[in-house]
Amino acid sequence: MMNIKDFKLFRDKNYIDGKWVTADSGDTISVNNPANLKEIGTVPKCGTSETKKAIEAANKAWPDWKAKSARQRSDILRKWFDLIMNNKEELAQIMTIEQGKPINESRGEIGYGASFIEWFSEEAKRVYGDTIPDPMTDRRIVVLKQPVGVVASITPWNFPNAMITRKCAPALAVGCPVVIKPASQTPFSALALAALAEEAGFPKGTLNVITGKASEIGDELATNPIVRKLSFTGSTEIGKILLQKCSGTVKKVSMELGGHAPFIVFNDANINDAVAGAMQSKFRNTGQTCVCANRIYVQEKVHEEFCKKFIEEVSKMKVGDGLNEENSSGPMIDEHSLTKVEEHVEDAIQYGAKVAIGGSRHSLGMNFYQPTILTGVSSEAKITTEETFGPVAPIYKFKDENEVIELANNSPYGLASYFYSRDIGRIWRVAEALEYGMVGVNTGLTSKAEAPFGGIKESGLGREGSKYGVDDFLEIKYINMCGLDK
């Protein structure tokens, strides 16, 4: 294996105002490979003053950036997309080394992340306004959409590339400069993206990446009046804190927060498809996504068949370092995450769940946990209401449609949901009844640049991707043209 430091795109400095810089203090934070717990490098430990500088640089870059035509901005975004695709393998390797996910999933994420840049480079040209008939004959109503201004984006470690591009591509495309605070566990993917953005020709200050103390950088981003929009992906807990902090300057916000996805298998489902969907939805990224299946509800008649086939598939999974092409499940991000998974499994067992497979840490030690299936899980168990964020699939048996809809909706979250059925009437009824921002019908994977990603209830505010994804970075301005009869 190549040393990450030899990679062309390895950067261990921050990118602020078009320059690669250290923290004012020179302090750094250490980044570890979750597969072997070894240090892979350090990044600057920046705080309030560096964040202010980044925000001011973005603000200085704003007038020129928004004055460019959509076509001009689109061309630069397109170059960035091409560079990412040309460097896909190296970006994927960096991602697996710092994040742990199997290399094939990393390759998939680089393509997925880049697809937002491609999509929004095209969509930027279609920021249409409107004209509205005025009630007075000498007047017209014109509606313009304009970039909101400096955008702050705070992103998590589970998708170190795509969560950045999904926010920054629409922001940049419509004319907003960005300040990005990546998760401290996975800064190198963000800095590699900045290196390619520099090469693509973004003017200095339009895209900035800052690493360091999350609360200090986050506080400045959420309270600085220059920042007009904060887009956050992470836990509901931190999202609520940021929402409060943003209220002081009434910023626009997008929040992609936690989820607790129901995954429902009806008697009339194609069971093989349902098993394949459950594998994908549950075990992708070692269960560490906000759209992973959290509660698998299986109808009585097919419960046995589904469980048997699901267990069989899980038994084939290979756990280990994600850089090894054979491994289908990597480590968890850290010890803290592992402890939460352990707690949830032990608690479910206390409430009567049976371990069908897995159920404990992996013999590899460190951050590895066995892919796990629990059956007969109680609605009282923590795993039924709290986000586990790990490779554990709890299965529940249900009797009828109304019962399962009620169970599925019984959550403060409302991000992703999934169900399998071949009955067209049921498909419409259930899809409409699920109180979730996203519903996968006969699929375990719904994320794509063309579709609006986002949640309702405590899962968030706003949408990312799709034609709706640009709205979050635009202000509506109405112009009343009067005196037209003179």
Pick the piece of the chain touching ligand ADP (CB under 6 A) from 19-27, 43-51, 84-92, 181-189. Answer: 181-189
- Kindly state whether residue 238 participates in binding ligand ADP, applying the rule CB under 6 A: yes
Among 41, 113, 147, 156, indicate the residue that binds ligand ADP (CB under 6 A): 156
- Kindly state whether residue 241 participates in binding ligand ADP, applying the rule CB under 6 A: yes
Q: Locate tokens 């419509």: which residue? A: 174
Instruction: Using the minimum distance from each CB to ligand ADP, give the nearer residue, 289 or 299.
Output: 289
Site size toward ligand ADP (CB under 6 A) is: 15
Instruction: Using the minimum distance from each CB to ligand ADP, give the nearer residue, 23 or 474.
Output: 23
- Kindly state whether residue 141 participates in binding ligand ADP, applying the rule CB under 6 A: no
Q: Which one of the listed residues 290, 307, 458, 464 is annotated catalytic?
A: 290
- Kindly state whether residue 235 participates in binding ligand ADP, applying the rule CB under 6 A: yes
Cβ atoms of 391 and 329 closer than 8 Å: yes
Among 29, 214, 311, 407, indicate the residue that binds ligand ADP (CB under 6 A): 214
Instruction: Using the minimum distance from each CB to ligand ADP, give the nearer residue, 291 or 404.
Output: 291
Among 72, 131, 215, 272, indicate the residue that binds ligand ADP (CB under 6 A): 215
148 C-beta neighbours (distance < 10 Å), count: 19
Among 184, 223, 249, 280, indicate the residue that binds ligand ADP (CB under 6 A): 184
Q: Is 176 a catalytic residue?
A: no
Instruction: Using the minimum distance from each CB to ligand ADP, give the nearer residue, 183 or 427.
Output: 183
Among 234, 322, 390, 414, indicate the residue that binds ligand ADP (CB under 6 A): 234
- Kindly state whether residue 218 participates in binding ligand ADP, applying the rule CB under 6 A: yes
Q: Is 256 a catalytic residue?
A: yes
Least CB distance to ligand ADP at residue 234 (A): 3
Among 23, 55, 148, 154, indicate the residue that binds ligand ADP (CB under 6 A): 154
Instruction: Using the minimum distance from each CB to ligand ADP, give the nearer residue, 150 or 404.
Output: 150
Pick the piece of the chain touching ligand ADP (CB under 6 A) from 139-147, 149-157, 355-363, 394-402. Answer: 149-157
- Kindly state whether residue 243 participates in binding ligand ADP, applying the rule CB under 6 A: no
What are the backbone dihedrals phi and psi of residue 182, each rounded to the nearest 5 degrees, phi first?
-80, 165
- Letters for 76-105 (x = contact with ligand ADP by CB under 6 A, - = none) are ------------------------------
Q: Which one of the listed residues 198, 256, 458, 464 is annotated catalytic?
A: 256
- Kindly state whether residue 186 participates in binding ligand ADP, applying the rule CB under 6 A: no
Least CB distance to ligand ADP at residue 185 (A): 7
Pick the piece of the chain touching ligand ADP (CB under 6 A) from 154-162, 170-178, 204-212, 460-468. Answer: 154-162
Instruction: Using the minimum distance from each CB to ligand ADP, give the nearer residue, 155 or 327.
Output: 155
Cβ atoms of 472 and 149 closer than 8 Å: no
Positions in the binding site for ligand ADP (CB under 6 A): 154-157, 181, 183-184, 214-215, 218, 234-235, 238, 241-242
Catalytic residue numbers?
A: 256, 290
